[in-house]
Structure 1
């Protein structure tokens, strides 16, 4: 085995995202037709060890298993500060101490895959609504939300963001003022967790605020064979 693979996520105190990442790593190993021990997971935050140490530990184990290459895939949907700055900096730190026994390559982040849009198209196809909102986390980094805006336009949706404007409530108010009575909300999130729980609560409150409107809340993407295939494409373009 010449290569090993490390999937890097944000990290959460909620156990559900880590469980989903473990499931996703297993699916990626199946798609690559390799042992699960060659596909690991790490997180940028909320870990006892910094990411560069997690990379070092996994790389050392990979060398022991006979690997000479390590490919790191950021499991992020948006090119915010974490993808553009934090993860590359941690990878650079890891490279300084690993030596020449193994090469490390940082792959494109998951959200950069052009086929990600079809996941949301499939969700739209199963929901009967006369308007839809693509709801992402949001970032203050200039230009980071453009992929979401482009995808929403391609899908015939409007955007809303959890941490920056326009908010979910303001978008709903706008759509209701246009006479929309069935609104689909598609979370641009990978896994269930604290934020998706808060989104569900916010939608329940919107149902009370707008009793004449039907709301449809789709689930986050989740670990799936289809998502594993996208990661395989990023590993072997």
Structure 2
């Protein structure tokens, strides 16, 4: 590991607190591995962006392992990160660059979400799961694949427990929103609702979500709400990153999943992102309307 640098890449938040949390996380991760060279940077809304982060990591290293510290790979991870790595290869010809998968929605993240839900149920004094609705609350993306990954987590939670309802809601970009899902669950007789945010760090949205839940509590006084929090400092996240580093003692020039991506040109990335945002969004609304009608037919 002595000649390898690890670059932890956060998305970046307009809210400085969100970025600070990632820097705190990196500091704690360094404490776990004092002999590792760990740098951090962000894709946007921060002082140190991709190019500078890659340059810092490359200094004095023979190999740089980039880890997207992001739950869902949408446009930024698929397009901007590989393009930045390609540029860094030109600037640092003596250094081998590789890119690990983003955190993803696998068993490790599922275990973290399950831990969050278990804590909320304890907070509610272990109510009957049949009358306790669960809402997984994600950020929402114009990338249908990223939203589908969250749907997988909802399905796994449903299969793992006895909850009658495990639903998905999103805070932006796509639908349904939290209010709609709570309205449905109330109509279907839930007497408690656990809201599990699928967020690594708080950023600005956790404050908004808290305010929304307070409003919902006033609107539905007969329902007891329990709201989880971001989970970036959960030990499962440190262990997931450890496994990414441990699994990648990389041969020269190795390519990992999000490296060598065909969506490289910035113009193409912009074009794809803009189009997927509008078309997926409207198609989803149309489908959602029909699905809603059919469900109540």
Q: TM-score, normalised by structure 1?
A: 0.90
Structure 1 runs of 4+ off > 4 angstroms?
Answer: none
Query: Are 2:107 and 1:98 equivalent residues in the alignment?
Result: no
| Secondary structure at 2:120 match in 1 | coil
Partner residue, 2:114: 121
Partner residue, 1:162: 171
Q: Decide whether aligned partners of structure 1 residues 229 and 31 sit closer, same or farther in structure 2, where only a CA change above 3 A counts.
A: farther
2:73 to 57, 73, 79: 79
| Secondary structure at 1:183 match in 2 | strand
Partner residue, 1:194: 204
Deviations along 1:146-166, one digit per CA (max 9) or x if unpaired, are: 111011111022111111101
Distance 1:206 1:59 in 2: 49
Where in structure 2 are the equivalents of 1:41-80 lying within 5 Å?
A: 41-48=40-47, 50-60=49-59, 63=60, 67-80=61-74
Contact 1:27 1:228 (C-alpha < 8 Å) held by counterparts? no
Distance 1:167 1:225 in 2: 30
Q: Decide whether aligned partners of structure 1 residues 74 and 96 sit closer, same or farther in structure 2, where only a CA change above 3 A counts.
A: same
CA RMSD of aligned residues (A): 1.7
Structure 2 regions of 5+ residues with no counterpart?
122-126, 159-165, 248-297
Aligned length: 229
Contact 1:169 1:206 (C-alpha < 8 Å) held by counterparts? yes
Contact 2:51 2:84 (C-alpha < 8 Å) held by counterparts? yes
Partner residue, 1:3: 4
Distance 1:74 1:122 in 2: 23
Structure 1 regions of 5+ residues with no counterpart?
none
Q: Please tell me whether Structure 1 or Structure 2 has the larger radius of gyration of its CA atoms.
A: 2
Deviation at 1:34, TM superposition (A): 1.6
Deviation at 1:3, TM superposition (A): 1.0
Partner residue, 2:295: none
Deviations along 1:102-150, one digit per CA (max 9) or x if unpaired, are: 2111111012543111011112112235111000011111322111101
Deviation at 1:68, TM superposition (A): 1.3
Distance 1:179 1:139 in 2: 30
2:136 to 134, 137, 140: 134
Contact 1:32 1:232 (C-alpha < 8 Å) held by counterparts? no
| Secondary structure at 2:116 match in 1 | helix
Partner residue, 2:22: 21
| Secondary structure at 2:144 match in 1 | coil
